[in-house]
Amino acid sequence: IPAFHACIVGAGLSGSVIAERYASWFRDRKVLMVEKRNHVGGNCYDYTDKATGIRVHKYGPHLFHTNHKAVWDYINKDDLQRRGAGGWIRWDHEVLASVENSHQGSTFVPVPINGISLNILFNLNLTTDEEVKTWLDLHRPRKEDRCTLSNEKRETEQKECQNAEDQCISRVGQDLYNIVFKTYTEKQWGRKATELGPEVTARIPVHGNFDSRYFQDPYQALPQKGYTRFVEALLNHSSITTILGLNFFEVRDILEDGKFCSELFFTGPIDAFFDEKLGKLEYRSLMFSPRVFFDVGESSHVQPSSVVNYPSPDVPWTRSVEYKQFLRQKSNHTIVVYEHGTKYVAGQNEPYYPVPNDQNRRLFKMYQELSKRLESLNQSDGNRKPKVHFVGRLANYKYFNMDEAILNALNLFDHLYVNIHGSGSGKG
C-alpha cells in the first residue's frame, strides 16, 4: 500500500476540490496536498489587510458567478459549512469605465456597455431594449464586412477574424472600440490589438438592454468569510495532509514513486511538468500597486464603484479596485489596488493569463499529447510510477473562471471514480 493514495500538487480551487472529493468519497484513503506558496487558495487567496482591516484579494479581484447549479450546490454543501467555509452572500458585481466623451469630458460609464453607457457616451436618449439593440447594430460594420470566429456560425461571404481588433470592431463598431476597448486591451496585453488573437476580445460582453451588472449568471456571490476560508474548509478533512511552501520539483522523485503515491494530480504549469523540453508557454502577468487612504470615514469610498476600468492611454494602470466596497465592509480607512499588465518572468512574478496565439496553441497541443500518453499509462503494466492527471488552469493552459475550475475538477473526479465505482463507494 502506498503512503498516500492521492498526491495533489497545488492548493488552488482545482487541486482542493479534487482533494475534498477524494477524501470524502474514499473515506479510508490518504491524500497529500503539496503547495509551493505559503498559503492555500491559489489565485483566489484573500487576507485581511492589517492597516485597514479590509479583506483584500492578493492576486486580483475575484467575483464568483455561475450558470451551473451543480457548482452552486457544491460550494453550498452543508458539509463545507460544518468545516468552517461560511456562507455565500449574493453580490451583483458592477464595473465603471473612466472615459472621455466629446460633450462632457471625463466621465464614468457602466461596463459591460449597455443602454445607460451609450446614452452617456453619445448623448443619446435610448429608452427601450429595442432601441439599444438597433443602435448597436447600426454602428457595427455592414454584415458582409464583419468577421467571425472560426467556431462561430458564418453568414455567407464573411471572413474569419484575424486578430483582436477586427473581431472587436465587428462586434461593437469602430467608435465603441476606440473609446472603450482598444487601449484597455493593448495596456492589458502589452501588444497592439492587431497582434493579438481574436479570442482575446471574443468574451467582451455588450448588453442590448439596460442591465449594468457585470455578470448575467443566476448565481453570483462572494464568500462571507473569504475564499481562503472556503478553500481551508475543502482541505479540512482528517484524510488530507497539507504541506505549504513545498515545490513539487524539489520532491518530484518521491511523489513520482509509485510506492509513495498511487495517483498524482498536477495543477501547475504543464510545460514545467515536462521540463519545458518542447519550449516555454507564454503568459501575461500583472503588477498590483496598493494605496491606503486613511480616515475617509467608516462607510465612505474614494472611487464610484468597487472596480473602475481605465481605457485611456494617459493612465498607466488598467483598473483600480477598492476592496472595501465588496460586501460593504466597514473601516475608517480604505485601500485601492491599481493593476497593470506586465511581462511574465518565471520566478519573478506570477503567470496569470495564457497568451492566445498560434505558436502557444501549437505548443500546448504538443504538451497535451505528452500528458495524454502519460495519463494512459497504467500501474498494472509494470509501471511503478503513479497515474498522473492534469487539472486546472495552468495544466490546461486555459483561462478558467472559478466555477469552471470547480466544474472541471468535479467532472474529472466523477469520470475517474464515480462513474466507474458507482454506488459502491462513499457518498461524500
In whole angstroms, the minimum distance from the beta carbon of 246 to ligand FDA comes to: 7
Per the DSSP assignment, residues forming a β-bridge with 219 are 66
Residue 342 neighbours by CB under 8 Å, 6+ apart: 190, 284, 285, 286, 287, 349
In whole angstroms, the minimum distance from the beta carbon of 269 to ligand FDA comes to: 6
In whole angstroms, the minimum distance from the beta carbon of 254 to ligand FDA comes to: 13
In angstroms, rounded to a whole number, what is the distance separating the alpha carbons of residues 76 and 58? 24
On the CB side of 140, CA atoms within 13 Å amount to 18
In whole angstroms, the minimum distance from the beta carbon of 168 to ligand FDA comes to: 20
Which CB sits closer to ligand FDA, 237 or 333? 237
In whole angstroms, the minimum distance from the beta carbon of 318 to ligand FDA comes to: 10
Grid cell, residue 382, equals 509494470
In whole angstroms, the minimum distance from the beta carbon of 410 to ligand FDA comes to: 13
In angstroms, rounded to a whole number, what is the distance separating the alpha carbons of residues 354 and 183? 19
Which CB sits closer to ligand FDA, 166 or 186? 186
The runs of H, that is alpha helices, within 63-109 are: 69-75, 78-82
Q: What is the DSSP letter of 61?
A: -
Strand, coil or helix: 147: strand
- Cβ 189 vs Cβ 282: under 8 Å: no
Which CB sits closer to ligand FDA, 120 or 286? 286
Which CB sits closer to ligand FDA, 263 or 403? 403
Which CB sits closer to ligand FDA, 180 or 405? 405
Which CB sits closer to ligand FDA, 67 or 300? 67
In angstroms, rounded to a whole number, what is the distance separating the alpha carbons of residues 291 and 320? 10
Q: What is the DSSP letter of 123?
A: T
497541443: which residue's cell? Answer: 365
Residue 125 neighbours by CB under 8 Å, 6+ apart: 119
Positions in the binding site for ligand FDA (CB under 6 A)? 9-15, 34-37, 42-44, 59-64, 247-249, 267-268, 286, 352, 392-394, 400-403, 405
How far from the centroid of its chain's Cα atoms is residue 27's Cα? 31
Which CB sits closer to ligand FDA, 61 or 311? 61
In whole angstroms, the minimum distance from the beta carbon of 192 to ligand FDA comes to: 22
CB atoms within 10 A of CB 304: 12
Which CB sits closer to ligand FDA, 135 or 249? 249
In whole angstroms, the minimum distance from the beta carbon of 291 to ligand FDA comes to: 18
